[in-house]
Amino acid sequence: MAALIDVILPVFIVIGFGYLAVWKGFFSDSGVDGLMKFTQGFAIPCLLFRAISTLDLGQNFDVGLLGSFYAGAFAGFLLGLIGARLIFNRPWEDSVAIGFCCLFSNSLLLGLPITERAYGATALEANYAIIAIHSPFCYAVGITAMEIARSRGGSLPSLPGKVIKAMFHNALIIGITLGFIVNLTGLPLPNVLTDALDLIIRAALPAALFGLGGVLYRYRPEGDMRTILFVVTISLIIHPAIVIGLGHANALTQTELRSAVLTAAMAPGINAYIFANLYGTARRVAASAVLMGTGLSILTIWVWLAVLP
């Protein structure tokens, strides 16, 4: 019970404030859009840039850690894709979008604050290692699968260019890339710049959580309930279960195992809806899975915190 009260509920109360503010008309839809543009387009890229630029790459980019997490994530994608096609008889394009929902856990807005509250700021280095390739990996998988589904294999030679172009229109990936450049080159940054970035970073997660609540108000579940529950089950239970099994098999440290499993246990991120909306496929399933998954994860995260060492 202490984990639920001390670790999980404060994060979801901030989300709830955002939801309530928009519901009652105290905060407008345009305000939510502006807030999310600030957090996802500026503040969180700054956070990722600073984290990656100062990360010990040799120590934290462990093959076992990344292999455990991303094997679980890709397994979730395949289960979502195949299940949507064979169980629910969805078109291939819908099936890819549903698979993407099972792939893209909310590693930033939920994974970071919950891991920090549970285990402290020093436990976040493994999270940052996972997050550093999370968006590139997920978008590479999703865009490649969607382009294959749409073209039926007819334009495969142009796929790499499409994937790279789409990925580098994403501010998160730009922030991560610049962080790697600074880290690998040892480029010194003036203190006045890092101090300014740190001011922006302090606002990133609280503002993003509040904005996420406002975004979730828009996406109330409507129909497709069996498919939505299928996505939520893969995201909240199957993905982290695979990761905890692989983590033990790969002899991850306690800190790495905690970060990998908790990140895997997060609900689908809002990028799942953004991806579905980009291609105009399975938007209702994606939006509702983000909303329902976020709500149900209050309980499932509590369980995973109890299971973890």
What is the pLDDT, as a whole number, of residue 208? Answer: 84
**Separation of alpha carbons 60 and 66, rounded Å:** 10
Q: Map residue 20 onto helix, strand or coil.
A: helix
In this prediction, residue 54 carries a pLDDT of 83
Residue 90: strand, helix, or coil: coil
Instruction: Give the global pTM.
Output: 0.81
Sequence ranges of the domains in the chain: 2-307
Provide the pLDDT for residue 3. 54
Of 199, 51, 197, 202, the residue nearest 127 (C-alpha): 51
The amino acid at residue 295 is: G
CATH 1.20.1530.20 correct for 2-307: yes
45/49 Cα distance (integer angstroms): 6
pLDDT of residue 123: 87
pLDDT at site 287: 82
In the chain, which residue ranges form alpha helices assigned H by DSSP? Answer: 2-3, 9-23, 29-38, 44-53, 57-60, 63-86, 92-103, 112-119, 125-132, 134-151, 159-167, 171-185, 191-218, 225-233, 239-249, 254-264, 270-279, 283-307
**Greatest extent of the chain over all pairs of C-alpha atoms, in Å:** 56
pLDDT of residue 155: 59
How many residues can be counted in the chain? 309
Over the chain (309 residues), the average pLDDT of each successive run of 10 is 64 88 91 87 87 77 92 97 96 95 90 90 89 85 85 63 69 85 90 92 87 79 84 97 96 95 92 80 86 89 91
